Amino acid sequence: MASSWTGNRVRLRAVEPDDWTAFARFADDDGPRVGRLDLPRSAESYRAWAKEQAVAECDDDRFRLAVEATATGELVGTVGSHRTGPRSGWFEFDITIGASHRHKGYATEAVVLLRFMFAEQRYHKCLAAVLAHNEASLALFRGLGFTEEGRLREHVFFAGQHHDLVMMGMLVNEFDRRHTMSEP
C-alpha cells in the first residue's frame, strides 16, 4: 500500500464538490436494482450535497469518504461511518459501489476505513445493516469477516412491502486476526 488510505485498487479520499455527477449516476443506477421508488432529485440537490460533504467536519467519528479507483482516478463509490456509540465503542459502517464498478474488489479494500476506526479511533465493534434479500452485500460482509448477529423482521418498508434487515458485526480482535491492524 502506498499510504494508509490507498490500496492496490482504491484510494479513499475526501468528497469533492465536483463528485456530484458520479453520486447522481450511482443513484440512477441503483434505483431499479433495489426495487425502491424514490422521488427524483435535481442536479442542484446533488451539487449541494457534494459541496456540503466536501466541507463537513468529522462529527463524532461520523464521516463519508469517496472511493476512487487507483488505476483510473474515477470515483467508483463511497464509504462511511454514519452512526457511532463512542461510550460503548461501536460504529456503523456502510459502503456503496456504483453498479458498473461492482465485483472488481473495490469494496473489499474498504477495510482501510475499518483499520482507522479500530486502530486509531479505538472502537471495539463495527456494525453493518444489510437488507436480507441483498445476497451480494451479505456475501461481501461475510467475506470481510462480519458475523450475522440478528435479523430485524419486516423492519424496512419500500416497494410496497416490508423487508428483513440483517445486522452484521465484527469485533476488533476478529478484524485484527483477519486483516492485521498494524499494516500501514
| 3-state per-residue secondary structure call for 158-181 | ECCEEEEEEEEEEEHHHHHHHHCC
Q: Strand pairing partners for 63?
A: 81
Give the pLDDT band of residue 30 (cuts 50, 70, 90): low
What percent of the chain has a predicted confidence (pLDDT) above 90? Answer: 73
Mean of the pLDDT values across residues 157-166? 91
Tell me, what's the pLDDT at 11?
A: 95
